[in-house]
Amino acid sequence: MTYARRLVLLIGLCVLFATLAVNNAYPGEEQEQTAATTRRKADPDMPKYVVPPPPLSEGIFPCSQCHEGMEPNPTRRELTFHTEISKGFNHAKEQRWCLDCHNPDDRDKLRLASGKLISFEESEYLCGQCHGTIFRDWKVGVHGKRTGYWNGRKVYRLCVHCHYPHWPKFQPLKPLPPPLKPDHIKYRKLSDDEIPRNPIGDISETVYKYEKRR
Amino acid sequence: MKREDKKTESRFFSRRDVLKGAFYGLASLAIPIGSADASVWDAFFQKHFREMNKDEVGAVIDRLEKEYYKKFGKKFDIKTTEAIPGTLFGYGLDLSRCIGCRRCVYACVRENNQSRDPQIHWITVLRFKQGKKWVNDLEEAEKYYYPGEVPEEGYFYMPVQCQQCENPPCVKVCPTQATWKEPDGIVVVDYNWCIGCRYCMAACPYGARRFNWGEPRIAREELNTNVHYLGNRPRYKGVVEKCTFCIQRTRGNPGRYPACVEICPVGARKFGNLLDPKSEIRYIIENKRVFRLKEDLNTQPKFFYFFAT
């Protein structure tokens, strides 16, 4: 091998390793490159962890499939198509209507107050422009749920995974049963079928669905 | 007189021989003949967990895996993962977020193989009326609340579990040293060393320890076979158990969050390394309003209740 060839090989390897190191915060956990992930990577404040895609209603996205060519109408009114949203809408009702968040021109984008367009996958910027303190807590992992590894790859949730954007108050839940009182204690040995079953199954089924690779 | 004494001594058995024989004879009756395989003796002569070398621990694990297979018909994987150097686990619970839904209680039961009958829960969720005394006086707490939906107007909730004290009173009182604090701060119990005296339960100011009053029963299909020797392996009747910060999950590189952290639907539960200045638990302690339960008792819990808003 000539000296020049060796040099080229060396440089090539360096470039390869450099790109690998940049792309993977945690090796072996490659993430699909989207506009949202690139933007999060560029922002030094943003978590370098996985944020799953938003829980868009089935068949509703992209918005442009219906809104293409439709004239944007900014007036407050009873909607004829997204009826449940206009009926249930409860998110600073007086100060806000559709086009304050949804972009009128490119309907598949959200719009910040600054006029900057963002995708649905990075909606945390939109929520964060009003809820700044919560946004700050979310970034460091204090607000909101996250799963994964305490010393490794973590999976965040977007604001909209827990707070439906059109009525964002966290919805009440049915609690699981209280502990048995001492007078419920049974004095006989139960058969295998009589043993009470746990109301929660294996958490990998309920929790880890967000952790699947996008 | 002297002559007669000599006569009695010259019989077949001396008094000492008779007593010896009777002792050994009775002792032999104590051997469980029905199940007198080697494992019974191995279990009886098992050394204290922290005094065993690697081979001895390996032998104990093999024996237990066989024992569990015989008992449950399932293959258990019993880990003995040691503490990761440079870790001290800390836990945060956001009281301004908790809605008292008890998901944590049952995720813990499932993950940690708590007995379903008699029922054992490691986490107790307490409900307090707003404006009433709390923290210093848990007597007014309600743990049997069961409304149709939570959170309820006018109430707030505080889950309590083992606080993993840095100065644990339960460890001090244990007469057999069957419970101790690990280097990463987790207080563990060796169920093969515990004699069930329940001194630790009396000493714990948080009511965090549970006793197996009966043979623990779990439906076979709900057994978690991924276990740690000092954590969620199946327990025996007559031993004490408690929260271990999911030692089988958290001791890993990478290590998972505890089950209660991962199940919490409101994200009120936080977990991390207190020695890592960049961990979320450190951020909470440095930036939020934090308190520890019954701090005046100098137990120094590593369980931090906080208010994020």
What does the pLDDT average to over B230-255?
96
SS (H, E, C) A37-57: HHHHHHCCCCCCCECCCCCCC
| A100 and A192 together in one domain | no
- Place A13 in a pLDDT band, splitting at 50, 70 and 90: low
Q: Is the pLDDT of residue A211 over 90?
A: no
- Residues B128 and B159 sit within 8 Å (Cβ to Cβ): no
Say which amino acid occupies A47. Answer: P
**Shared domain check, A128 and A39:** yes
Cβ–Cβ gap A203/B255 under 8 Å: no
Identify whether residues A142 and A84 lie together within a single domain.
yes
Taking CA–CA distances from B276, the nearest residue in chain A reads A151
- Same domain for A115 and A35, yes or no, is yes
Domain locations in chain B as residue ranges: 46-309
Looking at CATH, the fold of the domain delimited by B46-309 is given as Alpha-Beta Plaits (3.30.70)
Are the CB atoms for A177 and B142 separated by under 8 Å? no
Q: Where residue A30 falls among pLDDT bands split at 50, 70, 90?
A: very low
pLDDT score for A51: 79
Residues of A in contact with B148 (CB under 8 A): 174
In this structure, the answer to whether residues A52 and A135 fall within a common structural domain is yes
* Alpha-carbon gap: B308 to the closest alpha carbon of chain A (Å): 8
Highest mean pLDDT among A10-14, A34-38, B100-104, B129-133 belongs to: B100-104
Which residues are registered as beta bridge partners of B56? none
Q: Does residue A18 sit within a domain?
A: no
Residue A214 has pLDDT above 50, yes or no: no
Q: Is the pLDDT of residue B238 over 90?
A: yes
Q: Do B308 and A185 touch (CB under 8 A)?
A: no
Identity of the residue in A150, A157, A194 whose CB atom sits nearest the CB atom of B273? A150
Structural domain count, chain A: 2
Q: Which amino acid is at B272?
A: G
Q: Are residues A86 and A132 in the same domain?
A: yes
| Model confidence at A58: pLDDT above 90 | no
- Asked if the model's pLDDT at residue B54 lies above 90, the reply is yes
Q: What average pLDDT score do residues A9-16 get?
A: 53
Check residue A208 and give its pLDDT. Answer: 75
Average pLDDT over every residue of B33-53: 81
Of B111, B253, B271, the CB nearest to A203: B111
- Please give the average per-residue pLDDT across B287-299, as a whole number: 95
Position A22 in a domain: no
pLDDT band at A59 (very low <50, low <70, confident <90, very high): confident
| Nearest residue of A to residue B264, measured between CA atoms | A145
Determine the pLDDT at residue A212: 57
Q: Give the pLDDT score at B6.
A: 55
Determine the pLDDT at residue B154.
95
User: Does the beta-carbon distance from A140 to B283 stay under 8 Å?
Assistant: yes
Count CB pairs under 8 A between chains A and B. 142
Interchain contact, B118 vs A185, CB within 8 Å? yes
Q: How far apart are CA B107 and CA B307, in angstroms?
A: 24
Please list, in sequence order, all residues whose beta carbon lies within 8 angstroms of the beta carbon of residue A183, skipping any fewer than 6 positions away. none
**What confidence tens digit (pLDDT) does each residue in B105-117 have?**
999 999 999 999 8
CA A46 to CA A67: how far, in whole Å? 32
ipTM of the complex: 0.85
Instruction: Judge whether B98 is closer than 8 Å to chain A, CB to CB.
Output: no
The pLDDT of residue A213? 42
- Poorest-confidence range of A27-36, A176-185, B35-44, B60-69? A27-36
| pLDDT computed for residue A41 by the predictor | 75
Residues A88 and A188 in one domain: no
- For chain A, positions 148-177, list CB contacts with chain B under 8 A: 148-153, 157, 162, 170, 172-177
CA A118 to chain B, closest CA, distance in angstroms equals: 26
In a domain, A7, yes or no: no
Q: What value, to the nearest 5°, has the Cα angle with vertex A32 and ends A29 and A35?
A: 130
What is the pLDDT averaged over residues A10-39? 51
Residue A104 lies in a domain: yes
Residue B9: which pLDDT band, with cuts at 50, 70 and 90?
low
Q: In sequence order, what DSSP letters do the residues of chain A get, joined into one string?
A: --HHHHHHHHHHHHHHHHHHHHH-SSTT------HHHHHHHH-TTS--SB-PPP-PPTTT-STHHHHTTPPP--S----SSSHHHHHH--SSGGG--GGGTB-SSSTTSEE-TTS-EE-GGGTHHHHHTT-HHHHHHHHHT-SS--EEBTTS-EE---HHHHS-TTS-SPPPBPPPPPPPPGGG---SPPPGGGSPPPSS--HHHHTGGGGS--
Average pLDDT over chain A, rounded to an integer: 82
How distant is the Cα of A171 from the closest Cα of chain B, in angstroms? 9
Residue B65: phi, psi to the nearest 5? -65, -40
Reduced 3-state DSSP string for chain B: CHHHHHHHHCCCCCHHHHHHHHHHHHHHHCCCHHHCCHHHHHHHCCCCHHHCCHHHHHHHHHHHHHHHHHHHCCCCEEECCCCCCCCCEEEEEECCCCCCCCHHHHHHHHHCCCCCECCCCCCEEEEEECCCCCCCCHHHCECCCCCCCECCCCEEEEEECCCCCCCCHHHHHCCCCCEEECCCCCEEECCCCCCCCCHHHHHCCCCCCEECCCCCECCHHHCCCEEECCCCCCCCCCCEECCCCCHHHHCCCCCECCHHHHHCCCCCEEEEECCCCCCHHHHHHHHCEEECCCHHHCCCCCEEEEECC
In chain B, residues 219-278 whose CB comes closer than 8 Å to chain A: 219-220, 222, 250, 252-257, 259, 261-267, 270-273
Q: How many CB atoms lie within 10 A of CB A103?
A: 18
Residues of B in contact with A146 (CB under 8 A): 267
A144 plus A104 within the same structural domain: yes
Same domain, A60 and A139: yes
Q: Model confidence over A136-193: pLDDT tens digits?
A: 999 999 999 989 999 988 888 999 999 999 999 999 999 999 999 988 777 778 888 9
> Taking 90 as the threshold, does the pLDDT of residue B193 lie above it?
yes
Do residues B259 and B249 make contact, with C-beta atoms less than 8 angstroms apart? yes
Q: In this predicted structure, what is the pLDDT of residue A199? A: 92
Q: Is A71 found in the same domain as A155?
A: yes
Q: Are B246 and B110 in contact (CB under 8 A)?
A: no
Does the residue A167 lie in any domain?
A: no
Average confidence (pLDDT) over A81-102: 92
SS (H, E, C) B120-137: CCCCEEEEEECCCCCCCC
B145 and A178 in contact by Cβ < 8 A?
Answer: yes
Confidence at residue A61, expressed as pLDDT on a 0 to 100 scale: 85
Domain range for residue A121? 28-161
Q: Which residue of B has its CA nearest to A179?
A: B144
pLDDT band at residue B15 under the 50/70/90 scheme = confident
CB contact under 8 A, A172 and B149: yes
Answer whether A107's CB lies under 8 Å from A64's CB: yes
Give the separation between CA A178 and CA B142, rounded to whole angstroms: 10
Looking at the structure, tell me whether residues A148 and A83 fall in a common domain: yes
Does residue A86 sit in the same domain as residue A154?
A: yes
In-domain check, residue A85: yes
Is residue A11 domain-resident?
no
Closest CA–CA distance from residue A105 to any residue of chain B (Å) = 35
**pLDDT, tens digit, 9 for 90 and up, residues B260-279:** 999 999 999 999 999 999 99
pLDDT, tens digit, for every residue of B125-174? 999 999 888 887 788 899 999 999 999 999 999 999 999 999 999 999 99
Which residue type occupies B94? D
Interface test with B, best of A24, A136, A150 (most B CBs within 10 A): A150
Q: Among all residues of chain A, which has the CA nearest to that of B84?
A: A151
pLDDT at residue A56, rounded to an integer: 87
